[in-house]
Amino acid sequence: MIIPGMASDSQVYLNGEFMQIGEAKISVLDRGFIFGDGIYEVVPVYNGKPFRIAHHLDRLDRSLAAIRIANPHDRAGWLALIGQLIERSPSPICMVYLQVTRGVAKRDHGFPKEPIAPTVFGMVNAMVPPGKAQREQGLSVISLPDERWLHCEIKSVSLLGNVLAKQAATDAGVDDVVMFRDGYLSEGSSSNVWVVIGGKLLAPPKNNLILEGIRYGLMGELAEQIGLPFEARKLSKQEVLAADEIMVTSATKEVLPVVRIDGRPVGSGKPGPVYARLRERYDALIASL
């Protein structure tokens, strides 16, 4: 089977075995396929070393617990699997994708009465970290109402709201969206959003309205290292539109500046000084791996 954009010799993991991607098959009754009943993780890897792996595996635990799937592996099991995926990576800079669904059962919304084995899937893809152009030119975004459900803290594979938001950005000819729920900042389609106002770094509070990115905690640590005040609080759309700087973070974007929102420049319209300092720290951390 040819999968557009994927090398046919890519090795993936499915339920205990490694195989070529075209050979990996799940049942049409997998609850991940039928209901989006599953969760996932994306771990960035630099020089063959997974970045902040303990944080990612903690979040995987939290996501599984939130949807009441027993964790199919202990910590050592996940680490071994991640190591085996990295060995199969086309590049030492890559991202490991892990997904667990409730498993295969007769289609019925409620959980299966008899215990079933979860479906465990893993793959690894080369990752291209943001290059000079993206770092220097920054991103353009549009604002969008956040129309997702009220459990955005779960890293669920039910991503239709995020998919439609990202497509709205593509349709508008911009890089991404920044979403607002009831007039307050939530997040991007697959990133956390940060603003700088009056020399202070601000982000929406960690709650059920956003996914707590692994870089959420990291940005707080980096801010502390450089003596940058940080506060998590509700941020109105007016505040965000008038912010001195806006940034986004994710495993693959790392940290990137947003220079335009809804067609208007953010601050000077160029990547700002706070971004530059945080970016420098992020790069230093990766280089130290």
Query: What is the footprint of ligand PMP within residues 124-163 (CB under 6 A)?
Result: 162
Nearest approach, Cβ of 8 to ligand PMP (angstroms)?
A: 27
List 64, 191, 203, 278, residue binding ligand PMP (CB under 6 A): 191
8 Å CB contact between 213 and 206: no
Q: Given the complex with ligand PMP, which of 10 and 158 has the nearer CB atom?
A: 158
Q: Given the complex with ligand PMP, which of 140 and 249 has the nearer CB atom?
A: 249
Q: Of the listed 25, 113, 132, 155, which one is catalytic? A: 155
Q: What is the three-class DSSP state of 276?
A: helix
Q: Is 251 in the site for ligand PMP (CB under 6 A)?
A: yes
Q: Given the complex with ligand PMP, which of 104 and 127 has the nearer CB atom?
A: 127
- The span of 63-71, 164-172, 213-221, 281-289 binding ligand PMP (CB under 6 A) equals 213-221
- Helices 273-287 + 214-225 axis angle, to 10: 110
Binding residues with ligand PMP: total (CB under 6 A): 13
Nearest approach, Cβ of 159 to ligand PMP (angstroms)?
A: 8
Nearest approach, Cβ of 125 to ligand PMP (angstroms)?
A: 14
Q: Is 96 in the site for ligand PMP (CB under 6 A)?
A: no
Residue type, 248: V
List 37, 146, 175, 187, residue binding ligand PMP (CB under 6 A): 187
Q: Is 89 in the site for ligand PMP (CB under 6 A)?
A: no
Q: Is 213 in the site for ligand PMP (CB under 6 A)?
A: yes
HSE (CB half, 13 Å, CA atoms) of 156?
A: 23
- The span of 86-94, 108-116, 169-177, 206-214 binding ligand PMP (CB under 6 A) equals 206-214
Dmax over Cα atoms in the chain, in whole Å? Answer: 60
Active-site residue, 155 included: yes
Nearest approach, Cβ of 59 to ligand PMP (angstroms)?
A: 7
- The span of 95-103, 129-137, 187-195, 279-287 binding ligand PMP (CB under 6 A) equals 187-195
Q: Is 211 in the site for ligand PMP (CB under 6 A)?
A: yes
SS (HEC) of the chain: CCCCCCCCCCEEEECCEEEEHHHCCCCCCEHHHHHCCEEEEEEEEECCEECCHHHHHHHHHHHHHHCCCCCCCCHHHHHHHHHHHHHCCCCCCEEEEEEEECCECCCCCCCCCCCCCCEEEEEEEECCCCCHHHHHHCEEEEEEECCCCCCCCCCECCCHHHHHHHHHHHHCCCCEEEEEECCEEEEECCCEEEEEECCEEEECCCCCCCCCCHHHHHHHHHHHHCCCCEEECCCEHHHHHCCCEEEEEECCCEEEEEEEECCEECCCCCCCHHHHHHHHHHHHHHHCC
Sketch the per residue contact string, 42 through 81, with ligand PMP: x for CB under 6 A, - otherwise.
Answer: x---------------------------------------
Q: Is 192 in the site for ligand PMP (CB under 6 A)?
A: yes
Q: Which of 239, 9, 238 is nearest to 124 (CA)?
A: 9
The binding site for ligand PMP (CB under 6 A) comprises 42, 162, 187, 190-192, 211, 213-215, 249-251
Residues labelled catalytic: 155
